[in-house]
Amino acid sequence: MTAGVDEVAIAPLRERVRSVLVERTGVSRRKATMAVLLVGAFTVSFTITLLVVVLDTVADDLGSSVSIVSWTITAPMLVFAVVGPAFGTLGDLYGHKRVFVGGLLGAGIFAGLAALAPNAAVLIVLRTLSAACGSATGPSAMAFTSRMFEPHERVRPLGVWSFVTAGAPVLGVVAGVPLVSTVGWRVIFLAQAPLCVLGAALAWWLLRDTERRPDARFDALGAATLGLGAAFVLLGVNRGGAWGWSSPPIVVAFIAGVALLAAFVWVERRVAAPIVPPRWFRTRNVAFPVLSQSFANFGYMGAFMIVPQMLQDGAGLAVATVGWLIIARPLTFAVVAPLAARVTMRTGERFAGMFGSMTVFLSLVILSTTREATPLWWIAVGLGLSGLGLGVASPAMSSLLANAVDDDQLGAASAMQQLVAQMGALLGAAVMISVQEGTSAQGVLPSYANALVVGAGLCVVAGLLASEVRSTARTANGAAAGPATP
């Protein structure tokens, strides 16, 4: 009771301080809120893939093997995707401010403990717990973003949002080697902890809580079946190449995953407040944007995993040269995603989704033509086009999804989108690596070209799915004229 009275008592003072800060700095409330949300999301996403290229260093430091330490990346990626829907729904029910702050705080605490991990097993557990907490920030941040902007304005901030959520893990891979060689992997996580705690404090002070639904119930059974089912499927996809697609653990993982996902569908059709309403799958501007993003991620992230090896093993490029070349992808994404909103607001989300998917398709076709004598600028063009395509398509599809669901379900919808997109990315990496390994007898470069062609084909599917969405109608000056007919 006292805590509630104290909160009511300090609320006017807190609001007054906020107003003074806005006046003194000249930064609008919306911009300050977006900055806090984006920095929080970046902080928890950046380190998920940070160790991907320095696993041998970490393994030597902990007296373990690369195959074991690789779970410091695999496990966080899996849990980051599968627990998001539960956090998204919790935010819709109990307020996204609490979920965002709690997730950021938990991520920081476990990151700090991970920096002190004495062995590989403890590091894997702590990194997984940190990622699980961090996954709460994504759906809540998107829910805040969508609430702050009108439907016709959302594509612009979602462009920046898309860069952060998709670009942070990519930048983590690029920055892994120089950071670890300069300050060490422990120091990186030790620095992440206070940044997360500071971000949580700023978010608690700045953010206004979203409306809550105290009379609603949390679909615990739906969250459990969806999370476990997706986890088993992602585990099978992620480790199938390493353990063998017909090995008993992988077969069991797929069977269990499919069975649990079928149980999830059965549960959602019968509960009063489903975590993922079945009607979403019959809604054009929910189902098609989510699936389009998933297939585009298949090609985008699959190529991200195999192109560096192709350039080193096939084209004979030095590691340092490859490192500079692959920066073209996140750099182009960073530049394009915020600017593409202007085009999308005039041409509509449907065109942006189709254009983006087909641009990723073109990039994979260009990269599949790589030979030992291919000019570096041509490879950079292929990589840059990939960032351009996803930078245009991703915010447009996210905007359509946000506009197609009720405000009190934005968190759950965003989490579902995060899960399906992550499944597409992991599936793309697994399938394209398997294609390359399965056709290696044709030669190094031809086998990589085969894998890239498979990814390109899925990008065509993404473009076809994007062609089925209904854009928000636009006037000549880009203003919203009202929603298109469903």
Per-residue pLDDT of the chain (486 residues; tens, 9 = 90+): 444 444 444 555 555 555 555 554 445 667 778 888 888 878 887 776 667 666 778 888 898 887 788 788 778 877 877 787 778 778 877 788 888 999 999 999 999 999 899 999 999 999 889 988 988 888 888 778 777 777 767 777 776 776 676 667 666 666 666 777 777 788 878 888 888 888 888 888 888 877 766 555 777 888 888 888 888 887 887 777 778 888 999 999 999 999 999 998 898 888 877 877 888 888 888 889 999 999 999 999 889 888 888 998 888 888 778 878 877 887 787 778 767 777 787 788 899 999 999 999 999 999 999 998 899 999 999 999 998 998 888 888 888 888 888 777 777 787 788 778 878 887 888 888 888 888 989 999 999 999 999 999 999 999 999 999 988 744 334 444 443 333
| Count of all residues that appear for the chain in the document | 486
Encode burial over 334-344: b for 16+ CB neighbours within 10 A, e otherwise: bebbbebbebb
* CA–CA dist 367, 378 (Å, integer): 8
- Domain 284-486 adopts which CATH fold? Growth Hormone; Chain: A; (1.20.1250)
Task: Write out the two tokens for 81.
Answer: 């995707």
Angle (deg, nearest 10), helices 29-46 and 185-206: 150
Q: What is the pLDDT of residue 226?
A: 83
Answer for the pair 209, 49: CB distance below 8 angstroms, yes or no: no
Q: What is the pLDDT of residue 2?
A: 41
Q: What is the pLDDT of residue 165?
A: 67
Q: What is the pLDDT of residue 49?
A: 65
Answer for the pair 104, 200: CB distance below 8 angstroms, yes or no: yes
Answer for the pair 189, 47: CB distance below 8 angstroms, yes or no: yes
Phi and psi angles of residue 485, each rounded to the nearest 5 degrees, phi first: -65, 130
234: left (phi over 0), alpha (psi -120 to 50) or beta: alpha
What's the whole-model pTM score? 0.74
Q: What is the pLDDT of residue 347?
A: 83
Smallest Cα–Cα separation from 88: which of 202, 222, 229?
222
Smallest Cα–Cα separation from 77: which of 144, 170, 185?
170
Q: What is the pLDDT of residue 473?
A: 43
CATH classification for the domain delimited by 22-214, as one of 1.10.1060.10, 1.10.486.10, 3.40.50.12500, 1.20.1250.20:
1.20.1250.20
Instruction: Please give the single-letter amino acid code of residue 410.
Output: L
Q: What is the pLDDT of residue 382?
A: 94
Radius of gyration of the chain (CA): 22
Phi and psi angles of residue 482, each rounded to the nearest 5 degrees, phi first: 120, 160
Task: Write out the two tokens for 76.
Answer: 């966080």
Q: What is the pLDDT of residue 208?
A: 80
Task: Write out the two tokens for 273.
Answer: 């407040």
Positive or negative: CA dihedral 61, 63, 64, 66:
positive
* CA–CA dist 213, 406 (Å, integer): 13
